[in-house]
Structure 1
Amino acid sequence: MKEKFSKPKGFGEILDHTFRLAKNRFSDFFMVLLILMGPIYLLQALIQLTMGTNFLREVGSGDNWFDQVLTSFDQGSSPESIGADPGSTLGLILTGLATIILLPVAQVAILYIVNHIRKNEEYTVGAVIKQAFSRFWPIFGSSLLMALITIGMFVGPLIIVFMVGFAGSFVNPIIGILFGILLFLGLALVVALLLIRWSFYLGVVAFGKEAPGLSKSWKLTRHRTWILFGIYIIFTLIVGAISTAVEVPVMLLLGNSVLYTIIINVVSLFTTMIISVGYAVVYFDLKIRVDADDLKELIEDYNGPR
């Protein structure tokens, strides 16, 4: 396994290595996420049960089976139901807060596992989780900053697109709409590429003493932005396909029930595991490339004219 980390990998090799790791060490990776996120999902299910949500199958009103299934979700997401169903609202809030706080810690723990595998070192799941929590505040602070940057970078372009589209509609509504759409797509691509350049801050924070690690992430992703963009798209499509393949039939069978929520949360843990392992594989691949480039520069400086 160590040999697979010793040299830079191509697009297909990264995907292959990710899925091999996820398969061979599935229990370790999944256990990390289950230990950190499982209790929150269990609490969410207990709150739903306490508030009267059916465990096996939950349906709403309607003349036929399909309408009943759809209305069970409409009722749970409508503004009226948010106030009328505090259990679901509290469950969503708890899950959201836990994800923001604990998911980065879980991703760092998975980074540590992959690092141990890379070095052929022994480890335990409990030890890597403890090690990840030792970096809790740098992880939390850096993730919070990245979240704020992400929100700002999406809100800003939306405001610009709205203003341009609104102004253009006075000249020609069709041209204004088309220009607004093109401008939105262009700005969205720029934002996505910038976020990719900063996205490996978590690896920097996990293995270094500095935070938030954005500048080093920028250096790591140099000359690899478009490749990383493609990798992110592939992982998104794979995760989306897995989630859809499970969620749609379960939704039609169980409605918005407690069991449906549990199954979707378990699937979410599985897809998060794949993304986290892929993130670790890409991070160490970038480290090899950058370390090799730095070594080449040192050699060139040493052998250069004096």
Structure 2
Amino acid sequence: MSNEPRLPLGISRMLKYSFQLYKQHFEKLFLLSLFYFGPIYLVMYLLMPAAMEQSSTSLNNLYHIFAGGAIDPTWQRETLDTGAFVSIVRMVLFSLFSILYVVLLGPVFAAANVFLVQAVFNREAPMSIKEAIKRAFQRFGALLGSSLLFGLIIFGIGIVTMILIGILFAIGAGGIYASGGGSVGGTVVGVVISFILIYIGVLLLWSYFVIRWMYYLPVTALREEPLGLGRSWALTRSSFWRLFGVMFVMNLIVGIFSVVVEPLFNAIIGSEGLATMLGQIVLILLRIVLFPLPVVLYAVSFFDLKVREEG
């Protein structure tokens, strides 16, 4: 790693560099991830022990909470049926704790990873986990403020894009219906294809703003700007497609684990008592192991942007 030239990295080299860094500094990255997710799983076990005793459906719900997805209605219905008011209270408490925890400590965890990667990227003395976390907490207020602002902006853009999807789809479907002339099947296919194309287009538009502003966090952590949004926009002005491609590939790699490996693993261990619990513990550890990968790539891509700009 120390011999790696600090040159602008393409998609394949950036991925390779990130995996090398992840491998060589696995212990620190794993411990950081464990420190971050450990309290979440502990509180989940204390407030909703039944959820930890179920199949991976409950764990998938926890994963989707932090991935921005929705809770499986089947699991939600089963939970409500078993405990009525107490279950509702516990679910609400856990949800509130999770939201506050992620909002308050998520930026700190990401910044700590940025500091670890910075030390490697600049060929400095290895940084300890304690030092990385300490430096991140020194920027707690700025990280929290900039993260809240970024979240509000992206949330607002998300709402606008959803409205845009609805409007464009209504116009497209109306045009297909009004044109007539074709079979019912052809009309349905045309509507479906138009919806998919509109959805992909609007999703790319939303992704554009996310990628252009998402480097606010390392900028803020490194004290380059108070909020970091303007600096992030400048750094990414000619790198959107490269960043979109590398992030897409990394998320595809990590996503394969949830889509393929987890169901296969659950099928192997079965659904009986101790085997299920041990299997869930293994799945939790695997998630904790995988989580630093996209965070490391995020930090590496940021410093690559700085190399491209500063030379």
Partner of 2:112: 109
Partner AA of 2:110 in structure 1: Q
**Aligned partner of residue 307 in structure 2, secondary structure:** helix
Shift of residue 243, structure 1, vs aligned partner = 2.7
2-structure distance, mates of 1:172, 1:159: 20
Partner of 1:280: 299
Shift of residue 179, structure 1, vs aligned partner = 3.9
Label 1:255 to 1:202 Cα distance change in 2 as closer, same or farther (>3 A): farther
After TM superposition, list the pairs within 5 Å mapping 1:188-203 onto structure 2.
188-203=203-218
**Aligned partner of residue 19 in structure 1, secondary structure:** helix
Partner of 1:162: 166
Which piece of structure 1 moves more, 237-246 or 195-204? 237-246
Identity %: 30
Which piece of structure 1 moves more, 100-109 or 231-240? 100-109
Shift of residue 47, structure 1, vs aligned partner = 1.8
Report Cα offsets for 1:102-128 as digits up to 9, x if no partner. 222111101101112233313211111
Shift of residue 246, structure 1, vs aligned partner = 3.6
Matched, 1:229 2:244: yes
Partner of 2:235: 220
2-structure distance, mates of 1:190, 1:46: 41
Partner AA of 2:53 in structure 1: F
After TM superposition, list the pairs within 5 Å mapping 1:118-157 onto structure 2.
118=121, 119-157=123-161
Label 1:99 to 1:270 Cα distance change in 2 as closer, same or farther (>3 A): farther
Partner AA of 2:197 in structure 1: L
1-structure distance, mates of 2:131, 2:52: 38
Unaligned runs of 5+ residues in structure 2 are 58-71, 178-186
Partner AA of 1:123 in structure 2: M
After TM superposition, list the pairs within 5 Å mapping 1:1-306 onto structure 2.
1-4=1-4, 6-49=6-49, 52-53=50-51, 55=53, 75-78=74-77, 81=80, 84=84, 85-86=87-88, 87-118=90-121, 119-173=123-177, 174=187, 178-252=193-267, 253-254=270-271, 262-292=281-311
The answer to whether the Cα contact below 8 Å between 2:164 and 2:202 also exists between their aligned partners in 1 is no
Over the residues paired in the alignment, what is the CA RMSD in angstroms?
3.0
2-structure distance, mates of 1:154, 1:12: 30
The answer to whether the Cα contact below 8 Å between 2:32 and 2:109 also exists between their aligned partners in 1 is yes
Shift of residue 176, structure 1, vs aligned partner = 5.8
Label 1:259 to 1:149 Cα distance change in 2 as closer, same or farther (>3 A): farther
Label 1:134 to 1:7 Cα distance change in 2 as closer, same or farther (>3 A): same
Which piece of structure 1 moves more, 118-127 or 223-232? 118-127
Shift of residue 156, structure 1, vs aligned partner = 0.7
Which piece of structure 1 moves more, 213-222 or 254-263? 254-263
1-structure distance, mates of 2:289, 2:126: 24
Shift of residue 270, structure 1, vs aligned partner = 2.3
2-structure distance, mates of 1:138, 1:178: 44
2-structure distance, mates of 1:29, 1:58: 25
The answer to whether the Cα contact below 8 Å between 1:164 and 1:176 also exists between their aligned partners in 2 is no
Shift of residue 97, structure 1, vs aligned partner = 3.1
TM-score relative to the length of structure 2 = 0.78
2-structure distance, mates of 1:161, 1:122: 48
The answer to whether the Cα contact below 8 Å between 1:220 and 1:287 also exists between their aligned partners in 2 is yes
1-structure distance, mates of 2:161, 2:48: 38
2-structure distance, mates of 1:225, 1:167: 29
1-structure distance, mates of 2:263, 2:223: 42
Unaligned runs of 5+ residues in structure 1 are 60-72, 293-306
Shift of residue 199, structure 1, vs aligned partner = 1.4
Label 1:159 to 1:244 Cα distance change in 2 as closer, same or farther (>3 A): same
Shift of residue 263, structure 1, vs aligned partner = 4.4
1-structure distance, mates of 2:52, 2:138: 40
Q: How many residues align?
A: 278
1-structure distance, mates of 2:241, 2:175: 36
Label 1:81 to 1:11 Cα distance change in 2 as closer, same or farther (>3 A): same
